[in-house]
């Protein structure tokens, strides 16, 4: 078995519809993406524009970050062609058909978190959802029940991963418990499979028997507008921090799952909140009835009876709390992400057949600036410090195309007279200008300077924001900001490159940045001198001799030294010009 630092690294595309705010399914996807990125895999999210907020179309990554936190992936709108990745994953039945956009060599997979035909009444949508499981695309499934079900019903190849808990977030907090007992109900009338009406009828019975128990609803918008025959507290849609507090403060939690279970039961168990769910096959894989929770027949009276058992039998509730907490103690998102990783590696083609043998070294693709078009009197440049050896490709974001392909030149950033690459062979894909060249063997933390020039070239996109370790240049003069560009390197082996000492890596990178900053300072100084020579009136040789004699007669030796120094600099400048 490969150790983690020998695991072949993948480039993974995720096909998503615009996320539902507060959705656990989307949170799972983004959590898995972040963990895969921490393992060294590259991720790109292709977001379908339909239904996406119009004011977020230009920067979809900002929308995701606002509601789901930082995500370690590039976010782009739906592409016409899916290439330059090893595997593409559909994430809902509606995204499945877009796997047809994959070029040959890109493996197809299906990230399945629930049995989606249950989401709609029997009809065309139901049949289309069911057809996706018969298509022969391997499935990575949330939980063993779903994997077993798809395998037995459709003959699908499945790779299950376990439910998990963030233990640094969900844990017991006895100080939050109050004397008044509290039932929390995951109430989602907008999601039929969460059986909102059944839950209300059961809680109405409980309320009649235990009128002093506090009822708290959470999970959906506008719950206060629902017709509920008893008093309740409406918490609405909660973020993770608010959920942790709510779980730890509750006597018991009711999460009704008519299909694949929610992640909430194990999170509640870790918080020492007793769980009640429906007695259906999917839930048997997660809850051991009478040991780690209670399962009830999906009818109001049995469900109410299970809740009342926990309210009336404290010994039973404590035993279930102890067992449940011990049961989920080993649930780990890192372990689950490793299971997903194993499934991806099994689905991906052999390394030698992958669509992408390259890895991204630098990726900056968002910004609002547009450069002037290239012309004989105007050259665009970019200074940059690679993080890897074997740099072999640079992509530039285009604002306006042209018939002429600009010439790319890559120089040593510290010694700009050293030309490393010169090519005018490029291809254009989806508003990107792509240059491939023979790998440069020693580019790790080597300051580079690449330029684009043409007689009648395109305009490029750039970001106004300054970025440490790189700078935009117009006619070789440093500017604030940087181009929108991506660079790629070719790994020397199919395995992850061994990392050196972290401190030494940081020192190496900072040294390269300092060298690059020094080179830019010298360049700016030279540019300033050149401007001064053009703008300031120059003294003739005769004028300098006359001024020198005057200084000698006046005894001003210090002034004479300054004048002599200026004369030497002037002479050197003239020699350079010649």
3 state DSSP class of 241: helix
Q: Are residues 386 and 453 in the same domain?
A: yes
Does 5 map to a domain?
no
Determine the pLDDT at residue 19.
80
Does 214 map to a domain?
yes
pLDDT surpassing 50 at residue 111: yes
* Mean pLDDT in residue range 332-337: 95
Alpha-carbon distance of 349 to 174, in angstroms, equals 50
Does 412 map to a domain?
yes
3 state DSSP class of 289: strand
- Which of 102, 127, 161 delimits the end of a domain? 161
Determine the pLDDT at residue 554.
64
* Mean pLDDT in residue range 128-150: 95
Q: Are residues 45 and 122 in the same domain?
A: yes
Alpha-carbon distance of 182 to 235, in angstroms, equals 13
Alpha-carbon distance of 506 to 451, in angstroms, equals 27
* Mean pLDDT in residue range 387-403: 87
pLDDT bin (cut points 50, 70, 90) of residue 352 is low
pLDDT bin (cut points 50, 70, 90) of residue 192 is confident
Q: 226: domain range?
A: 174-329
pLDDT surpassing 70 at residue 450: yes
Q: Are residues 17 and 151 in the same domain?
A: yes
- Which of 429, 457, 489 delimits the end of a domain? 489
Token digits of residue 539: 């003294």
Determine the pLDDT at residue 413.
82
- Does the CA dihedral 331-333-334-337 come out positive or negative? positive
pLDDT in tens, 68-107: 788 888 888 888 888 888 999 999 999 999 998 887 778 9
Q: Are residues 282 and 391 in the same domain?
A: no
Q: Which of 83, 63, 65 is nearest to 13 (CA)?
A: 83
* Mean pLDDT in residue range 500-510: 60
Stated as kind and residue range, the H or E segment containing 95 is helix 93-96
Tokens 């480039």, residue located: 11
User: Contact, 28 vs 111, CB < 8 A?
Assistant: no
pLDDT surpassing 80 at residue 547: no
Q: Are residues 456 and 427 in the same domain?
A: yes
Q: Are residues 319 and 183 in the same domain?
A: yes
Does 336 map to a domain?
no
Q: Are residues 205 and 303 in the same domain?
A: yes
How many domains are there within the chain?
5
Token digits of residue 186: 């995951």
Question: How far apart are the two ends of the chain, measured CA to CA in Å?
Answer: 67
Q: Are residues 422 and 436 in the same domain?
A: yes
What does each C-alpha distance from 214 to 230, 249, 314 come to in angstroms? 10, 11, 17
Angle at 54 between CA 50 and CA 55, to 5 degrees: 145
Q: Are residues 192 and 322 in the same domain?
A: yes
Q: Are residues 34 and 88 in the same domain?
A: yes
Lowest mean pLDDT among 210-224, 431-445, 520-534: 520-534
Stated as kind and residue range, the H or E segment containing 568 is helix 557-577
Return the DSSP state at 502: H
* Mean pLDDT in residue range 366-370: 82
Determine the pLDDT at residue 340.
97
Please spell the DSSP secondary structure of 462-474, one letter per residue. EE-S-BTTBEEEE
Lowest mean pLDDT among 227-231, 361-365, 471-475: 361-365
Token digits of residue 257: 């799952």
Determine the pLDDT at residue 501.
57
Does 497 map to a domain?
no
For 291-340, the three-class secondary structure string (H helix, E strand, C coil) is CCEEEECCCHHHHHHHHHHHHHCHHHHHHHHHHHHHHHCCCCHHHHHHHH
Most distant CA pair in the chain: distance in Å?
Answer: 116
Does 348 map to a domain?
no
CATH number of the domain residue 231 falls in: 3.40.50.2000
Higher model confidence: residue 458 or residue 210? 210
Determine the pLDDT at residue 4.
47
Return the DSSP state at 286: T
User: Contact, 286 vs 261, CB < 8 A?
Assistant: yes
Determine the pLDDT at residue 462.
83
Determine the pLDDT at residue 493.
43
User: Contact, 103 vs 82, CB < 8 A?
Assistant: yes
CATH number of the domain residue 456 falls in: 2.60.120
Q: Are residues 483 and 515 in the same domain?
A: no
Please spell the DSSP secondary structure of 344-384, one letter per residue. HHHHSPPGGG-S---EEEEEE----EEPPPPBTTB-EEEEE
Whole-model pTM? Answer: 0.61
Does 180 map to a domain?
yes
- Please state, as a whole number, how many other Cβ atoms lie within 10 Å of the Cβ of residue 287: 26
pLDDT surpassing 80 at residue 405: yes
Give the contacts of 427 (CB within 8 A, at least 6 positions apart).
Answer: 433, 434
pLDDT bin (cut points 50, 70, 90) of residue 498 is very low
Does 349 map to a domain?
no
* Mean pLDDT in residue range 47-55: 70
- Which of 161, 183, 215 delimits the end of a domain? 161
432-440/427-429 β-pairing: antiparallel
pLDDT bin (cut points 50, 70, 90) of residue 273 is very high
Q: Are residues 511 and 463 in the same domain?
A: no
3 state DSSP class of 148: helix
CATH number of the domain residue 155 falls in: 3.40.50.11090
Determine the pLDDT at residue 458.
87
Question: How many residues are present in the chain?
Answer: 578
What does each C-alpha distance from 108 to 161, 350, 421 come to in angstroms? 18, 13, 36
């Amino acid at each position: 078995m490969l150790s983690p630092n020998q695991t072949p690294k993948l480039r993974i595309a995720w096909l998503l519809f615009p996320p539902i705010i507060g959705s656990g399914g989307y949170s799972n996807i983004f959590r898995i993406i972040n963990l895969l990125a921490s393992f060294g895999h590259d991720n790109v999210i292709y977001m379908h524009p339909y239904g996406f907020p119009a004011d977020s179309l230009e920067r979809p990554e900002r929308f995701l970050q606002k509601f789901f936190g930082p995500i370690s992936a590039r976010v782009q709108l739906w592409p016409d062609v899916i290439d330059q990745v090893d595997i593409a994953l559909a994430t809902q039945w509606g995204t499945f058909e877009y796997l047809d956009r994959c070029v040959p060599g890109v493996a197809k997979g299906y990230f399945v978190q629930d049995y989606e035909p249950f989401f709609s009444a029997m009809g065309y949508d139901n049949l289309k959802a069911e057809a996706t499981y018969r298509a022969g695309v391997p499935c990575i499934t949330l939980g063993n029940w779903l994997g077993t079900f798809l395998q037995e019903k459709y003959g699908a190849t499945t790779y299950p991963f376990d439910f998990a808990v963030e233990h640094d977030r969900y844990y017991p907090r006895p100080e939050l418990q109050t004397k008044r007992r509290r039932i929390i109900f995951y109430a989602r009338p907008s999601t039929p499979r969460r059986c909102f009406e059944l839950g209300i009828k059961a809680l109405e019975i409980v309320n009649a028997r235990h009128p002093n128990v506090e009822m708290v609803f959470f999970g959906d918008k506008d719950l206060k507008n629902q017709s509920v025959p008893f008093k309740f507290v409406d918490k609405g849609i909660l973020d993770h921090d608010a959920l942790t507090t709510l779980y730890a403060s509750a006597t018991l939690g009711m999460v009704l799952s008519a299909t694949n279970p929610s992640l909430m039961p194990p999170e509640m168990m870790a918080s020492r909140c007793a769980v009640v769910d429906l007695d259906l096959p999917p839930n048997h894989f997660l809850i051991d009835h009478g040991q780690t929770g209670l399962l009830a027949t999906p009818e109001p009276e049995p469900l109410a009876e299970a809740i009342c058992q926990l309210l009336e039998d404290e010994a039973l509730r404590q035993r279930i709390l102890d067992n449940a907490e011990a049961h989920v103690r080993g649930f780990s998102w890192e372990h689950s992400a490793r299971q997903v990783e194993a499934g991806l590696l099994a689905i991906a083609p052999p390394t030698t057949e992958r669509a992408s043998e390259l890895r991204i070294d630098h990726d900056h693709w968002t910004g609002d600036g547009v450069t002037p078009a290239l012309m004989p009197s105007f050259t665009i440049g970019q200074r940059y410090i690679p993080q890897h050896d074997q740099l072999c490709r640079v992509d530039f974001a285009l604002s306006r195309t042209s018939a002429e392909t600009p010439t790319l030149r890559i120089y040593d950033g510290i010694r700009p007279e050293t030309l490393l690459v010169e090519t005018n062979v490029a291809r254009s894909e989806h508003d990107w200008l792509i240059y491939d060249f023979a790998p440069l063997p020693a580019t790790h933390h080597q300051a580079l300077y690449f330029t684009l020039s043409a007689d009648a070239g395109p305009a490029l996109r750039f970001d106004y924001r300054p970025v440490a370790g790189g700078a935009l240049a117009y006619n070789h003069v440093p500017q604030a900001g940087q181009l929108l560009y991506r660079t790629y390197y070719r790994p020397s082996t199919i395995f992850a490159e061994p990392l050196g000492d972290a401190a030494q890596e940081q020192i190496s990178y900072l040294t390269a940045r300092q060298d690059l900053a020094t080179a830019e300072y010298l360049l700016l100084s030279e540019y300033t001198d050149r401007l001064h020579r053009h703008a300031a009136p120059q003294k003739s040789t005769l004028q300098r001799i006359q001024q020198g004699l005057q200084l000698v007669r006046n005894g001003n030796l210090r002034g004479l030294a300054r004048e002599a120094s200026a004369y030497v600099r002037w002479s050197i400048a003239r020699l350079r010009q010649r």
